[in-house]
Amino acid sequence: MKYFLLLSFCFLFLQGKAQNSDSSNEPDSIKKTVLATYYHRKFEGRRTTSGAKYRAKKFTAAHRTLPMGTMITVTNPDNGKSVIVKVNDRGPFSKRLAIDLSESAAKEIGIFRKGIAKVNLSYTIE
């Protein structure tokens, strides 16, 4: 009887572990509402933290903590327009702001010339 209980317990324990590991393989989708700004034109051609040159016409962004290469969907809640940007730099360095967008990304979602705007971020951490 002891062996039966021990085997039953081990089976249930291992089955629970298998279920937990299956769910941990799914990437976590994160959604946040933050303040965003965009790069000034003077940064055109300068090296980013990733080593790539900043190009205003590409859909790129700077974020303080997300891994380089993370793809972020940025949506302007005022008009519903969105764009997908790739993190290739660090910043912004103001605690208020969460993301710096390239000029073309800011124009695409309609925040260019506003300076600072509220946006929704959606990304997946794998």
Residue 47 phi/psi, 5-degree rounding, is -75, 140
Q: How many domains does the chain fold into?
A: 1
In a domain, 98, yes or no: yes
Residue 24 has pLDDT above 70, yes or no: no
In a domain, 58, yes or no: yes
In a domain, 12, yes or no: no
Give the C-alpha separation, 28 to 50, whole Å. Answer: 24
Strand-strand pairing, 82-89 and 71-75: antiparallel
Residue 50: which domain range?
27-125
In a domain, 21, yes or no: no
Per-residue pLDDT band for 25 (boundaries 50, 70, 90) equals low
In a domain, 4, yes or no: no
40-87 pLDDT tens trace: 999 999 999 999 999 999 999 999 999 999 999 999 999 999 999 999
Rounded to 10 degrees, the C-alpha dihedral 82/87/92/93 comes to 160
pTM of the model: 0.78
Mean pLDDT of 22-45: 86
In a domain, 6, yes or no: no
The CATH number that applies at residue 61 is 2.40.40.10
Q: Are the CB atoms for 57 and 105 separated by under 8 Å?
A: no
Per DSSP, the three-state class of 49 is coil
Per DSSP, the three-state class of 105 is helix
